[in-house]
Amino acid sequence: MLTLLSVRLFNFRAVKDATFAPLRDGITGLSGVNGIGKSAFLEGMLWALYGEVPRDVSQSDLKNDQAGDDDECYVQVEFEHNGQNVIATRSLRGKNRTAVLNTWLDGAPSTVTGVTVGQRWIADRLGIDAKGFTTAVLVQQKELDGLVEAKPAERRALIERLSGVDKMSDALRVARSELNDAKHRAEGATGSQEEITQAQEYASDCESEALAANDALHAATVTLEARKAEYTAVNDVYEALAETARKVADTSAKVSRGENDLKVARANLARAEEEVTHAKKSLPNGEVPQGDILAEARAEYNAAAATYRENQDAINEARSSAARALSDKEARESTLNHLNAVLEADRGDLATAQETLLNTEDFDIDTATADQASARNSVTVAVSELATREAEASALVASIESLSGADECPTCHTNLKDSKGVVASLKSLLSKAQSSRDAQKTVLDESENLLTLADENLSKAQSSVREKDSLLARISSLETSIAANEEKVTVAKDDIAKAKKLISSFETKAKKLLDGEAKLQEAGEKARENLSRAEGIDASVKSYQRVVDTRDFISRERDAREGGLKAAKAALAALDTPTEEALASALDDKNAAIERGSAAASTVQDLKSDVRVLEERLKHAESALEAAESAYSAKRALLDDVSHKSAVAGVLDEFRKSQIARIAPELSDTATSLIARMTNGAFIEVELDEEFTPSVVRADGRSRPISWLSGGELSVVALALRIAIGDMLTGGTGGLLWLDEVLVSQDAGRRASLIETLRSLTGRQIVMINHTQGADDIVDKSIRLTRSPDGGTVLDES
């Protein structure tokens, strides 16, 4: 069997993303509350390897309910088998959640493709199908309970199912059913050797009659061929005479038609000669004119028409040029009017700007700037003096206040008998100093007013200067614009005068061209009349040429008919005309040959009909023989099939009995090797009868039925038998053993014995599922499943 390395579940059942990695050797415990996903790892492994899904669950329901449509869902199983690393990943893809299986061997993708082929590859490699794998690997407490608590017949069926004997039982039932069906078919089948002999004799008689009829048909066919040859000979003679007679008749008719055709041709020629004479009279002077007078007249007319069109084009061009010159003159006059209007406007703006400049007040900006600087300096000096006086007054007040209540001057240490009087005197001085400071502040306010007035004067002076500069610039721009527009007015007037001269010249040219137009029209009319006369002459020439060509054709036809008549008369003279007596004799011989041939052909047809009837009868006889042989062969095949199916059923029955006979002792031996260690020597042997009913042998040698045992003891016996069944399926190769809640009915002491016994199993990798952590103290590695805050499953190892 295999050694499991890991099982990863991603959005599978209740698990979002978790990887279970059991110990390679020893016991791995898997615990957690119900619904946390303990069984999901086993279910995921069975689905990944064999496509097995839990009962009443569809494949599409395997995806986690909280996963989105675009989220992945897969199970990846990694294991070792026969020294090689194998990875199998089964996933659900797309909206329809279609299963996809991928496998890797020693890190390289396997060559198998498709889910079915991949599952077969895994089953072939492990040497066991899904049912056998589940039986060999998984042991569940409910299965153990069923194994010991079932009735004998139910227990027998359960052990047969677990050990695979039920497949042989099913095969035996199928074989016996097929044997009964084969017997029924053989009993109802028809066919015998006597029927075959009768069919052979009848077919032989039919064949003899058909051969005799074929011989008669051959003789009649030879006679018919002779009659055909005779008919061919007399018919050739008759056809030769008849052909000669037809040629004589045809040639005579041809001579007669030739004579009539010659008369007609001569009459046609005479009429054609008359038409030629009449047509010649319509020609100028009765002769065909020399040269192509029509082409000459057409060229003259085309030249006159071209000259007229050129004159018209020149007139149109002169008129167009005059119109363009007139349009240009009007455009220039419009431009001149616009320029005059602009000049008037600019001159008015210039006068206004000059008048504004004269009325603008003059300011001396340098004087205003100096006054502002003087006023600003006065304010600065007044502010500085005011600050000095305020500081001195504040210091004096502080000094005076410090003398209040003092015995001596703090500076000169003079005795101050009446310090309060001194203070009062000093305060009077201080009041005068403050009055001086107020006067200084008034000076400061006046200085600031002067500064404000100076700032206003300076601002007015600057604004006046800027206004004058702007007016001067405006006047300069207007003077420049007026000068430029006056030049443009002069140019426009010159252009208008030139345009008037052009209009006059174009009108004069058009008048001259119109004066010559009448002469050109007269020349065109003469050319048109000459062309009309030339076209009439050309039509007469063509008509004359047609009647001449007709006459020449009729003349040639007359000559041909004369030649044909001479040839027909010569051919008629060369023929040897047969007599009527010779033709009648040849026809009689032909008719007699036809009658003899018809009689021979009728005989052949009758014989062919007889042969067809006899051959059809022979065919039916052969079909009847074939049917008799086929029926007899089918019956023999059915009898052989009955014999074969009877042998198969017997072999399956014997093999099943031998397997059952082998299973009980084999299971007893394996269970016995486990039971003593599992029960600390309380039981030393497990016995199974033919119905697989177990009993145990106590340490004192006495045998006890399992009905005497406690629930825990029953569970131990069932576990020993269950492990024995798994070993029998795998041939004792060990490997993965998955125990699901098998310790629930055991106390601490027996649980320890069971665990030690499981540890001693050679080559076993054991995974033990527990509802709680009650078995953590006896496993080698404990993995507890808990719920994460986002609803996922978390594996905590210890």
- Residue type at 496 in one-letter notation: I
Please give the Cα distance from 518 to 512 (Å, whole number). Answer: 11
- Please state whether beta strands 694-698 and 683-688 pair in parallel, antiparallel, or not at all (unpaired): antiparallel
Residue-level pLDDT at 552: 86
* Inter-residue contact 265 to 273 (CB < 8 Å): no
Whether 85 shows a pLDDT value over 90: the answer reads yes
Residue-level pLDDT at 341: 86
Please give the Cα distance from 656 to 654 (Å, whole number). Answer: 5
Name the most confidently modeled range: 83-87, 176-180, 716-720: 83-87
* Inter-residue contact 550 to 226 (CB < 8 Å): no
Contacts of 191 (CB under 8 A, 6+ apart): 628, 630, 631, 632, 633, 634, 635
Residue-level pLDDT at 776: 64
Taking only the tens place, the pLDDT of each residue in 325-373 is 888 878 888 888 888 888 888 888 878 877 877 776 666 667 767 777 7
DSSP 150: S
With pLDDT > 70 as the criterion, what percentage of the chain qualifies?
90
Taking only the tens place, the pLDDT of each residue in 698-716 is 988 898 888 788 888 888 8
CB burial readout 412-431, b (16+ within 10 A) else e: eeeebeebeebbeebeeebe
More confident residue, 580 or 765: 765
Q: Which of 42-46, 146-150, 251-255, 380-384 has the lowest mean pLDDT?
A: 146-150
- Residue type at 430 in one-letter notation: L
- Residue type at 141 in one-letter notation: Q
Of 379, 423, 419, 376, the closest CA to residue 399 belongs to: 423
Structure tokens at 30: 């898997």
Mean per-residue pLDDT for 417-446?
67
Mean per-residue pLDDT for 220-232?
85
The interaxial angle of helices 580-678 and 165-188, nearest 10 deg, is: 150
Of 726, 681, 561, 613, the closest CA to residue 135 belongs to: 726
Please give the Cα distance from 339 to 343 (Å, whole number). Answer: 6
Whether 287 shows a pLDDT value over 60: the answer reads yes
Structure tokens at 50: 């064999």
The interaxial angle of helices 748-760 and 580-678, nearest 10 deg, is: 130
**DSSP letter string over 188-248?**
H----HHHHHHHHHHHHHHHHHHHHHHHHHHHHHHHHHHHHHHHHHHHHHHHHHHHHHHHH
Residue-level pLDDT at 418: 58
Length of the chain: 798
- Please state whether beta strands 98-105 and 84-93 pair in parallel, antiparallel, or not at all (unpaired): antiparallel
Contacts of 340 (CB under 8 A, 6+ apart): 489
Mean per-residue pLDDT for 161-181?
79
Distances (CA, A) of 237 to 338, 592, 651: 124, 14, 92
Whether 127 shows a pLDDT value over 80: the answer reads yes
pLDDT interval class at 106 (50, 70, 90): very high
Mean per-residue pLDDT for 643-666?
82
Whether 437 shows a pLDDT value over 70: the answer reads no
The SS3 call for residue 592 is: helix
Mean pLDDT of the chain: 81
Please give the Cα distance from 448 to 444 (Å, whole number). Answer: 6
Distance from the Cα of residue 400 to its chain's centroid: 106
CA 282-284-289 angle, to 5 degrees, is 115
Q: Which of 127-131, 389-393, 415-419, 756-760 has the lowest mean pLDDT?
A: 415-419
The dotted CATH code for 1-127+763-798 is 3.40.50.300
Mean per-residue pLDDT for 626-643?
84
* Own/partner pairs, 234-243, CB within 8 angstroms, 24+ separation: 234/586, 234/589, 234/590, 234/592, 234/593, 235/590, 235/593, 237/586, 237/589, 238/583, 238/586, 238/587, 238/589, 238/590, 241/578, 241/582, 241/583, 241/586, 242/583, 242/586
- Residue type at 220 in one-letter notation: A
Class of the CATH domain delimited by 337-494: mainly alpha
Residue-level pLDDT at 43: 92
Whether 403 shows a pLDDT value over 70: the answer reads no
Whether 73 shows a pLDDT value over 90: the answer reads yes
Of 742, 763, 789, 765, the closest CA to residue 141 belongs to: 742
Mean per-residue pLDDT for 725-729?
78
pLDDT interval class at 74 (50, 70, 90): very high
Residue-level pLDDT at 91: 93
Whether 406 shows a pLDDT value over 60: the answer reads no
DSSP 24: S
Residue-level pLDDT at 44: 94
The interaxial angle of helices 165-188 and 152-163, nearest 10 deg, is: 90
Domain with CATH 3.40.50.300 in the chain: 1-127+763-798
Mean per-residue pLDDT for 742-762?
81
Domain with CATH 1.10.287 in the chain: 337-494
Distance from the Cα of residue 430 to its chain's centroid: 106
Whether 542 shows a pLDDT value over 90: the answer reads no
Please report where in the chains the tokens 């086993």 appear, as a residue: 42
* Inter-residue contact 91 to 81 (CB < 8 Å): no
**DSSP letter string over 732-795?**
T--EEEEEESTTTT--HHHHHHHHHHHHHSTTEEEEEEESSSTTTTTSSEEEEEEE-TTS-EEE
Distances (CA, A) of 771 to 34, 36, 712: 7, 10, 18
- Residue type at 544 in one-letter notation: Y
The SS3 call for residue 74 is: strand
Contacts of 52 (CB under 8 A, 6+ apart): 43, 46, 130, 134
Show the 3-state SS of 559-589: HHHHHHHHHHHHHHHHCCCCCHHHHHHHHHH
pLDDT interval class at 62 (50, 70, 90): very high
- Please state whether beta strands 73-81 and 26-31 pair in parallel, antiparallel, or not at all (unpaired): unpaired
CA 583-587-590 angle, to 5 degrees, is 145
Residue-level pLDDT at 272: 83
* Inter-residue contact 444 to 382 (CB < 8 Å): yes
Mean per-residue pLDDT for 63-71?
87
Mean per-residue pLDDT for 727-747?
79
Please report where in the chains the tokens 């986002």 appear, as a residue: 790
pLDDT interval class at 607 (50, 70, 90): confident
Q: What is the dihedral of CA 537, 538, 541, 546, to 10 degrees?
A: -140
Whether 404 shows a pLDDT value over 60: the answer reads no
